[in-house]
Amino acid sequence: MSSEEALLLAPPTTNASAAAARTASLAAVESPAPEPAGETHAVLTQRFHAAIPGGAHTYAKGDDQFPEGIAPYLVRADGCRVWDTERREYLEFGMGLRAVTLGHGFRPVVQAAQRELLRGTANVGRPTMLELRAAEDFLSTTQAGDMVKFAKNGSDATTAAVKLARAATGRDRVAICQDHPFFSTDDWFIGTTAVRAGIPWGVRQLTHTFRYNDLASVQQLFEDHPDELACLIMEVEKDVPPAPGFLQGVRQLCDQYGTVLIFDEIITGLRWHVGGAQAVHGVRPDLSTWAKALGNGFSIAALTGRRELMELGGLHHDKERVFLLSTTYGAESHALAAMRAVLTTYRREPVIEHLRQAGEYLRRLLAQSIAEHGLTGHFALLGPPQCLVYATRDAARQPSQGFRTLFLQETLKRGLLLPSLIVSYAHQPADIELAAERIHEALGVYRRALDEGLDKYLHGRPVQPVYRARN
């Protein structure tokens, strides 16, 4: 290896005090090893599907998203590792669908939640002082809005934002970015996907789509529906960065046509910046929605934005009332305490810098493996380092669910839970290096399958897209 290559592949440097704090925070709590389930994988699968539609409470975690017969059922997690019913250990790079940025069981967050539970105020009949402190903490840390309303999941927050925009503008139509895969479980969004059973035709007609980084497609929507678009909702950034002038152009068009601009920061908030991707790119929306990293795995989401919009869901105005967000568990105290501990950690420690460094180190190591196996054009790394994903393509370089399944199969066999390449504050250089070694082996199988045929190496059916009309 040349000196230049050695420098390129060197692990990221870390601040000594931050590393020490991280080590202390992630020290394992004494607990007995998880007991085996005592049942075969097939029996457990049957039980899951007998009790839960789809076998999981999140479609992205369902059996159809993983190789047949080997996807683990988990019983414990710590840092960037998880354990299954057979006590097998896996390095995880999904991190709760990007919700866990600090690591599983991050002690300051868990301890904050525990302390609040012991106060007996998990859910009481009037607002608690914690709700006020949490709201002020969120607003001062993120600088993303004038007011905030908490909820339990991102879908509720985005739907509330759409309702608020419709109330403020008196319009019904919604514009969404078709290149961003998920905004809500509610009808206004799911009606645009292939899984539209149960959604009225009339509701589906009110949502329109545009393309990311295609300002002309946004302009065309406004021209096609003048004075009809209540809001435009999009992620600020996903796999590719915004083209120069795109976000600014969208902002200008929304201002010109009186449309509310909503940024979905559910993934980017606290992963791109404490102020979200809007702070990185310097374009402010009217409303934005947050979740995922806010609670490091605890259920907490937020809707924030301009006071004149948010106050429509309040008491201090003479306009028609908006029933904005009213959830029994929206201010559940342990989740708010967890969020405050997360925000404190972000203010004190270089979390986002670590995410970028760890993700970039992983990208460099995997890029070398891709080149060594001759997989350029067949296995691709996408997205910024703090939110890295991969794409699988066949011999013709076309997107392939079969090759995705093969890659998942081979990485699971090697102790990696790898639906994506998402890193956390818990992932250290040694974890990245271990994962890269095992992925290198899996990519060797990928190469052989390209040369000799997928069927020779893939065991079981391919994984399926979540959005499909039939099973």
| pLDDT at position 30 | 43
CB 91 within 8 A of CB 435: yes
- d(Cα 389, Cα 412) in Å, to the nearest integer? 17
**In the structure, what pLDDT confidence band is assigned to residue 13 with cuts at 50, 70 and 90?**
low
Predicted pLDDT of residue 122: 84
Give residue 207's pLDDT.
98
DSSP secondary-structure letter at 466? S
Q: Is the pLDDT of residue 5 over 90?
A: no
Q: For a pLDDT cut of 90, what percent of the chain falls above it?
A: 88
Residues 369-392 have pLDDT tens digits of: 999 999 999 999 999 999 999 999
Task: Please give the angle made by the CA atoms of 241, 181 and 209, to the nearest 5 degrees.
Answer: 85
Q: Is the pLDDT of residue 35 over 60?
A: no
The answer for residues whose C-beta is within 8 angstroms of residue 466's C-beta and 6 or more apart is 59, 60, 62, 64, 65, 195
- For the chain, list the domains and their CATH numbers: 3-98+350-456 (3.90.1150.10), 107-348 (3.40.640.10)
Is pTM beyond 0.75? Reply is yes
How large a percentage of the chain has pLDDT more than 70? 92
What value does the mean pLDDT take over residues 218-244?
97
pLDDT tens by residue, 309-365? 999 999 999 999 999 998 888 899 999 999 999 999 999 999 999 999 999 999 999
User: How far is 379 from 299, CA to CA, in rounded Å?
Assistant: 34
Per-residue pLDDT at 38:
74
Q: Are strands 81-84 and 389-392 parallel, antiparallel or unpaired?
A: unpaired
Does residue 439 surpass a pLDDT of 80?
A: yes
* Distance separating alpha carbons of residues 335 and 300, to the nearest angstrom: 6
Instruction: Give Cα 9 to chain centroid, integer Å.
Output: 27
pLDDT above 90: residue 37: no
| Model pLDDT, residue 10 | 58
The answer to whether residue 17 scores a pLDDT higher than 80 is no
What are phi and psi for residue 261, nearest 5 degrees?
A: -95, 125
Within 10 angstroms of residue 417's Cβ, the number of other Cβ atoms is: 22
pLDDT value, residue 384 = 97
pLDDT at 11 exceeding the cut of 60: yes
395-426 confidence digits (pLDDT tens)? 999 999 999 999 999 999 999 999 999 999 99
Tens of pLDDT, residue by residue over 78-135, are 999 999 999 999 999 999 999 999 999 999 999 999 999 999 888 888 999 999 999 9
Token code pair at residue 285: 């929306």
Render 323-349 in DSSP notation, one character per residue. Answer: -----TTTT-HHHHHHHHHHHHHHHHS
Residue 9, pLDDT score = 52
Residue 26: pLDDT band by 50, 70, 90 thresholds?
A: very low
With 50 as the cut, is the pLDDT of residue 3 above it?
no
Mean pLDDT of 156-162: 97
